[in-house]
Amino acid sequence: MSQSTKKGGLGKGIRALLNNMEQDINEEGSTLPSVAQEGMVNRIARIPIAQIEVNPKQPRHDFDEAALQELAESIKLHDIIQPITLVKVDVDKYQLISGERRWRASQIAGLTDIPAYIRTADGQEMLELALLENLQREDLNPIEIGLSYKRLMEECNLTHEEVADRMKKERSTVTNYIRLLKLPPDIQKAVRDKKISMGHAKAIISIDHADKQLYLFREILQKGLSVRQVEQMVKSLSTDKPSPAIPATAPAKLPAIYKKIEDDMASLFATKVTLDRKKTGKGNIMIEFYSDEDLERIMQKLSL
């Protein structure tokens, strides 16, 4: 089998699945058979909500409660228009492949059963189907997209190029989303919460050092900087002179208790802090800053 055939196989399978779902919906109309009937695999049926469990490979974790309430109100009036997709895992037990948002809203709406397309799938198919459905139909935030792409690579043994092929995206797009996962946790959370944009995050990630990334992040929040302004700051920081060279004899590794103190101080001042302690108990602390305003901020922390 050629590489191109292998890479395109899943995509064709998914397209066939979605086409079959549309055909079944058209054939069944609004009257769907009960799950008690036999031969329901690869067909649509109404499944008791209590028999459905969440897919542990679901890439989405954040759900807008207000949006769920709105969808629930719509479901009360019109029922579920687009069936969810399930895989049968045991007697009277099903697992979500896609449609968790509709399933959650149906629970809020008080439904006892829900129309679902029932199919068979192995672990990798379930992951890829869930990822594809979410990436194409749901409003995932950039961090969730990055995590989804990363999971495809790690759990399905795919390269950046193969993930891009699966998702019909440019390879650079996939790479940019995955790179976001290298940002400090505080910045990732801000991206998830839409406090900063994908453009801001892409500009920040182009700086290697976490302390400088946090400095840019803080400037964005405090000053409401545009993406273009952040890109200009990145250029400025990139042309700064490097820190003084480390002595030929590197300092001894800090004991754990002093390393924690160093980390706590870095968190307090939101910048890089270097603690040097000698065996005699003497030492020094270096607190980095990147502008006069940054220095003033640190001085306020010190109450100077």
Q: Which residues are catalytic?
A: 100
Q: What is the pLDDT of residue 244?
A: 46
State the Cα–Cα distance between residues 49 and 106, nearest whole angstrom.
8
- Which string of DSSP letters, residue by residue, matches the chain? --HHHHHHHHHHHHHHHHHHHHHHHHHHTT---BTTSS--TTEEEEEEGGGEE--TT-------HHHHHHHHHHHHHH--SS-EEEEEEETTEEEEEE-HHHHHHHHHHT-SEEEEEEE---HHHHHHHHHHHHHHHS---HHHHHHHHHHHHHHTT--HHHHHHHHT--HHHHHHHHHGGGS-HHHHHHHHTTSS-HHHHHHHHTS--HHHHHHHHHHHHHH---HHHHHHHHHHHHTSPPPPPPPSSPPPPPPHHHHHHHHHHHHHHTS-EEEEE-TTS-EEEEE--SSHHHHHHHHHHTT-
Q: Over 70: is that where the pLDDT of 48 sits? A: yes
Q: What is the pLDDT of residues 195-222, one digit of tens each?
A: 999 999 999 998 888 888 888 998 899 8
Please report, as a single letter, which amino acid is at residue 66. A
Place 21 in a pLDDT band, splitting at 50, 70 and 90.
Answer: very low
What is the pLDDT, as a whole number, of residue 52?
Answer: 93
pLDDT at 235 over 90: no
Nearest to 100 by CA among 141, 142, 129, 143: 129
pLDDT of 245 reads 42
Tens of pLDDT, residues 115-165? 998 876 666 666 676 666 666 655 678 888 888 788 778 767 788 888 888
- What is the predicted pLDDT for the residue at 23? 44
Q: Give the pLDDT of residue 35.
A: 44
For tokens 């008791």, what's the residue?
Answer: 48
Element (H, E) at 44: strand 43-48
Between 290 and 76, name the one with better pLDDT: 76
Q: Counting Cβ atoms within 10 Å, is residue 227 exposed (0-12), middle (13-18) or buried (19+)?
A: middle
Residue 295 is predicted with a pLDDT of 81
28 pLDDT exceeds 70? no
C-alpha 191/C-alpha 200 separation (Å) is: 9
In the chain, CATH 3.90.1530.30 covers 3-29+40-122
Q: Which fold has domain 3-29+40-122?
A: 3.90.1530
Q: Where are the alpha helices (DSSP H) in 40-170?
A: 65-78, 100-109, 123-137, 142-155, 160-167
